[in-house]
């Protein structure tokens, strides 16, 4: 009996290798899987490729890219206002601008949760907490993403309704949770606020292409109820845990209508944003 209990205790100390890498703050769980598949992880002197492998952090020697794996880092949460013309990655073989220049001097390594296209701007969530990143990215969480979109014309109401009913794009059928016209700029081009829960590649652009319109500008202004507020392009804000959890609260259209304009709500959030985050330029 004592031997069986001892074996069970030893088993309980073992964790999945990809989780351990994510917990260290080195990469997200999904990126950790790629690191393992590429043979960049060595456990007790041997390369491992098996994604489901379990290790004992207190006993096994784990090396990633030639460097010992660090112990679990304290969770850090941040948001970056990603400008257009910047890739949501740390390295680019073509040497194009990446988000690395905004976070490389930080004392902790952060990775993006999700992505924004090269030609899109707005709120980008960053963390070193792999479990948190997985919660945000999991389809069952249905985290809302809110965008302001400028299109090359004025979509009629029947076209807007088509976005709400759903359109088929590369990767499957998607539908907007809400679409609302925003008064901004010239009447020649429409501005709309659209809320989605999926996160397919270039989803918003493909959705508008399906109804016959090209996207001229695209800005993500909220993830859940974590809003961009009065942030400047290239600005980084650190979040406390309470603010980080706001991504799991849906961005409800009725809440938006309480303000006269979307710009007005942005200005009103400037003070609260500074209270819940530490500013870094």
What integer best gives the mean pLDDT of the chain?
86
CATH number assigned to the domain with residue range 2-68, chosen from the 4 options 3.40.50.300, 3.20.20.80, 3.30.1950.10, 3.10.290.10: 3.10.290.10
- Helix (H) / strand (E) containing 274: helix 270-275
Alpha-carbon distance 136 to 217, whole Å?
25
With a cut of 90, say whether residue 281 has pLDDT above it. Answer: no
Model pLDDT for residues 148-205, shown as the tens digit of each residue: 999 999 999 999 999 999 999 998 999 999 999 998 877 789 999 999 999 899 999 9
With a cut of 50, say whether residue 104 has pLDDT above it. Answer: yes
Query: How remote is the C-alpha of 62 from its chain's centroid?
Result: 28
Q: Check residue 254 and give its pLDDT.
A: 59
Residues with Cβ within 8 Å of 34's Cβ and at least 6 positions away in sequence, in order, are: none
Helices (H), ranges, the chain: 2-12, 17-23, 29-37, 100-103, 130-137, 157-165, 203-210, 241-244, 253-256, 262-268, 270-275
pTM listed for this prediction: 0.72
With a cut of 60, say whether residue 279 has pLDDT above it. Answer: no
- Helix (H) / strand (E) containing 226: strand 226-227
Helix, strand, coil percentages for the chain (3-state, nearest 5): 30, 25, 45
Q: Check residue 253 and give its pLDDT.
A: 64
Written as six digits, the tokens of 86 are 């910047």
Model pLDDT for residues 117-149, shown as the tens digit of each residue: 999 999 999 999 888 999 999 999 999 999 999
Mean pLDDT of 216-243: 96
Known catalytic residues are 117
What is the dotted CATH code of the domain comprising 73-281? 3.30.2350.10
Does residue 40 contact residue 49 with C-beta atoms inside 8 Å? no
Q: Give residue 3's pLDDT band: very low, low, confident or very high (50, 70, 90).
A: very low
Q: Give residue 255's pLDDT band: very low, low, confident or very high (50, 70, 90).
A: low
Backbone φ and ψ of 163, nearest 5°: -65, -35
Q: Provide the angle, in degrees to the nearest 10, between the axes of the packed helices 157-165 and 203-210.
A: 130
Higher pLDDT, 112 or 30: 112
With a cut of 50, say whether residue 41 has pLDDT above it. Answer: yes
Q: Give residue 21's pLDDT band: very low, low, confident or very high (50, 70, 90).
A: confident
Torsion of CA 105, 281, 119, 86, to 10 degrees: -20
Every domain of the chain with CATH number 3.30.2350.10 lies at 73-281
With a cut of 80, say whether residue 14 has pLDDT above it. Answer: yes
Q: Check residue 258 and give its pLDDT.
A: 52
Model pLDDT for residues 57-81, shown as the tens digit of each residue: 888 899 999 989 877 778 999 999 9
With a cut of 70, say whether residue 85 has pLDDT above it. Answer: yes
Q: Check residue 266 and give its pLDDT.
A: 46
């Amino acid at each position: 009996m004592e031997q069986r209990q001892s074996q069970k205790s030893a088993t309980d100390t073992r964790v999945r290798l990809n989780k351990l890498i994510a917990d260290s703050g080195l990469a997200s769980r999904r990126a950790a899987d790629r690191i393992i598949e590429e043979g960049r992880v060595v456990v007790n002197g041997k390369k491992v490729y098996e994604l489901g492998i379990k290790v004992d952090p207190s006993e096994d020697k784990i090396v990633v890219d030639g460097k010992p794996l660090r112990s679990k880092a304290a969770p850090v949460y941040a948001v970056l206002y990603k400008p257009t013309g910047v890739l949501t990655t740390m390295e680019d073989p073509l040497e194009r601008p990446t988000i690395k220049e905004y976070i490389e001097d930080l004392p902790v390594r952060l990775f993006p949760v999700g992505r924004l296209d090269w030609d899109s701007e707005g709120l980008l969530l960053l963390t070193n907490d792999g479990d948190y990143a997985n919660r945000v990215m999991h389809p069952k969480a249905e985290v809302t993403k809110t965008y302001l979109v400028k299109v090359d014309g004025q979509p009629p109401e029947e076209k807007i309704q088509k976005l709400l009913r759903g359109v088929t794009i590369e990767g499957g059928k998607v539908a907007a949770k809400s679409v609302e016209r925003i008064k901004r700029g010239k009447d020649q081009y429409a501005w709309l606020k659209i809320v989605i829960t999926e996160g397919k590649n270039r989803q918003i652009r493909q959705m508008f292409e399906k109804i016959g319109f090209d996207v001229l500008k695209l800005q993500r202004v909220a993830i859940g109820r974590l809003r961009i507020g009065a942030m400047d392009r290239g600005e980084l804000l650190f979040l406390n845990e309470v603010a980080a959890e706001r991504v799991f609260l849906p961005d409800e259209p009725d809440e938006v209508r309480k303000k006269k304009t979307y710009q007005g709500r942005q200005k009103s959030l400037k003070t609260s944003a500074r209270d819940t985050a530490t500013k870094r330029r």
